[in-house]
Amino acid sequence: MFDVEKIRNDFPMIRNNPDLIYFDSAATSFKPQPVIDEVIRFYETRTCNIHRGDYDISFAVSKEYDDTRETVRRFLNAQRKEEIVFSNGATSSLNIVAINFAKKFLKKGDVILTSLIEHASDILPWFVAAKEVGCEIRYTPLDEKGMIDLIGYEECFKDNRVKVVALPYVSNVLGYIYPLKELTRIAHKYNAIISVDGAQGVPHLKVDVKDLDVDFLSFSSHKMLGPGGVGILYGKYELLDQLDPVFYGGGSNARFYNDGSIILKETPEKFEAGTPCIEGVLGLNRAVEYLEKVGMDNVASYGKELTEYFISKLEKLDNVEIYNSASEAGIVTFNLKGIFSQDASGYFNKQGIAVRSGNHCAKLLFNIIGVTETIRASFYIYNTKEEIDRFVDVIKDTTIEKCVDSIL
Amino acid sequence: MMDKEIKREIMLDHYNNPNNKKTVNDERYRSVHNASDSCIDDVTVYMLVEDGKVIDTKFDGVGCTICTASTDIMCDLIEGKNLEEAKDIINEYYKMIDEKPFDEDKLDEANAFDTLYQQANRIKCGTIGIHAIEDLINGYDKQ
């Protein structure tokens, strides 16, 4: 049974900030007590490096680190734990795929298919890769709401030049859940691979990589209750294994010689040069366990419930323009008529409500929604309808005068 | 300290009807673009200086109330001033934003921003246009 009050009790940020309404979980999420305890436990009783110490603590922590791979494998329903690479964030994971895939498999004239909804972290690495190799960037058509037009999407493959597709599971501005299974099926039909930005999708939805059949999936620990500094790259083993690392160094090689030759460790270790964020990975284990305990079906349905509740309330207000009324995954993007988004969010801040304004790192999206800057409110499992009610009351009475007054 | 009502009026007036917000296509003007990398404020300032004196300053772009009003007010304040005087006004403005003692008399309507320092997240809004103006003045001054 989903009990939001019980969940809220697990989050010290909520206890310690009783007047704060936090609607910016798409930027980063709060962390529950077991995650915090795990990180502290590492610092207080288990500090060591992994995979190289000849002593008990190092051996034990190395095992816990590797156990997290198994936990993440289970969470994604991946085939094997060797398909899970730890990086330092979704951005880092997306770069590993883009830079290396392009270097190894793309040639001049090939097409990278992406979209205008993309976050900078999913599109800039491909821009750079495309320039280096001489590839073309192509944008899949979107309908007026920002949903992917599946017929137009398939059309993009017809000249047989698309070799790789880069799309998000959930847009970080629109909160739409894209039909990943179908997008993947079509990509594979034309022998293209698909790399998915899961930063917003994985924290909110039940993900089954076998069922979705995606080739690569990147996401961050810190947006799904885990510590910062840890990213995850899932890749189908045979593909992942063909990629080269971005970084080289300790921990990722087995041998190296005078003549400059290197024998790397096996996948996934070959991608993890240097000391990783060990405490972060251990904390991620607890975060995944926490989400599993709540149940990802519950996480998804509660996120949808809050999103729809907020949108239905906003739709009744005359002073609000909503840009993603079909959103399902905890993200609502809107503006107050006649008020610049940052003026409004500055006023909300004064009322104890944390939201984000701006272009949310998706700087091409104005092509679709027609405005460059918006307010984004994003929800997670610890938010409540009462908080939304309070926010709606504030929005209802927001005027430009009040926004200006908030800085006087 | 300026009265709250007056401050609000000044800010909204310069936001709703910025008399210096205008794109300039005149070769005699120099321009500088300045944009925030973390928010949406994005302005270009155009300036005409003759004989060491600021003749005219205009700006265009997108900005919030603070960005638009502060830029518009500063364009007014430095008009007709020589470069040293204009720099001095800008320095007093920065002092105010940094919560340091400053000369109110030199800032006129810009005193409306005398409590902006309390809003850490908005200080940038109040300096984007001003930095662009400062860059232009420094450019002219180096000659």
The CATH number given to whatever domain includes residue B105 is 3.90.1010.10
Is B63's CB within 8 Å of A340's CB? yes
- Residues A266, A345: Cα–Cα separation, whole Å: 48
Residue A30 lies in a domain: no
Nearest to A98 by CA among A213, A243, A241, A292: A243
Is B122's CB within 8 Å of A372's CB? no
Model ipTM? 0.80
| pLDDT given at position A362 | 65
| pLDDT given at position A363 | 66
* CATH for A9: 3.90.1150.10
- Secondary structure string (H, E, C) spanning B69-87: HHHHHHHHHHCCCEHHHHH
Rounded to 10 degrees, the C-alpha dihedral A73/A77/A82/A86 comes to -50
Nearest to A131 by CA among A114, A108, A150: A108
Give the closest-approach CA distance of B13 to chain A in angstroms: 11
Mean of the pLDDT values across residues A130-138?
A: 92
Residue A59 shares a structural domain with residue A193:
yes
Residue A269 shares a structural domain with residue A353:
no
The identity of residue A180, as a single letter, is L
Give the closest-approach CA distance of B78 to chain A in angstroms: 24
Residue A321 shares a structural domain with residue A250:
no
State which of A293, A328, A353 marks the end of a domain.
A293
pLDDT of A214 > 70? The answer is yes
Mean residue pLDDT of chain A comes to 93
| pLDDT given at position A360 | 67
B40 closest CB neighbour out of A342, A346, A403: A342
**Catalytic residue numbers of A?**
361
Q: How many domains does chain B have?
A: 1
**Range of the structural domain that residue A47 is part of:** 35-293
Q: How many domains does chain A have?
A: 2
Q: If DSSP codes are grouped into helix, strand and coil, which group holds residue A113?
A: strand
Per-residue pLDDT tens digits for B1-10? 788 899 999 9
Interface of B with A (CB under 8 A): 4, 7-8, 11-12, 15, 38-41, 62-66, 112-113, 115-116, 118-119, 121-122, 125
Token pair of A356, please? Answer: 């984000």
Is A343's CB within 8 Å of B7's CB? no
Residue A268 shares a structural domain with residue A337:
no
Token pair of B100, please? Answer: 């340091």
**Range of the structural domain that residue B119 is part of:** 4-141
| pLDDT given at position A128 | 92
Residues of chain B under the 70 pLDDT cut:
37-39
pTM of the model: 0.90
Residue A166 lies in a domain: yes
Best probe of the A interface among B122, B123, B128, by most A CBs < 10 A, is B122
Contacts of A70 (CB under 8 A, 6+ apart): A81
| In contact, A37 and A282? CB cutoff 8 Å | no
* CATH for A116: 3.40.640.10
State which of A276, A293, A310 marks the end of a domain.
A293
Is B125's CB within 8 Å of A342's CB? yes
Q: Contacts from B118-121 at CB under 8 Å and sequence distance 24+?
A: B118/A407, B119/A346, B119/A406, B119/A407, B121/A346, B121/A349
Interface of A with B (CB under 8 A): 340-343, 346, 349, 357-359, 372-373, 400-401, 403-408
Token pair of A373, please? Answer: 């800057």
Is A373's CB within 8 Å of B62's CB? yes
List chain B residues with CB under 8 Å of A346. 64, 119, 121-122
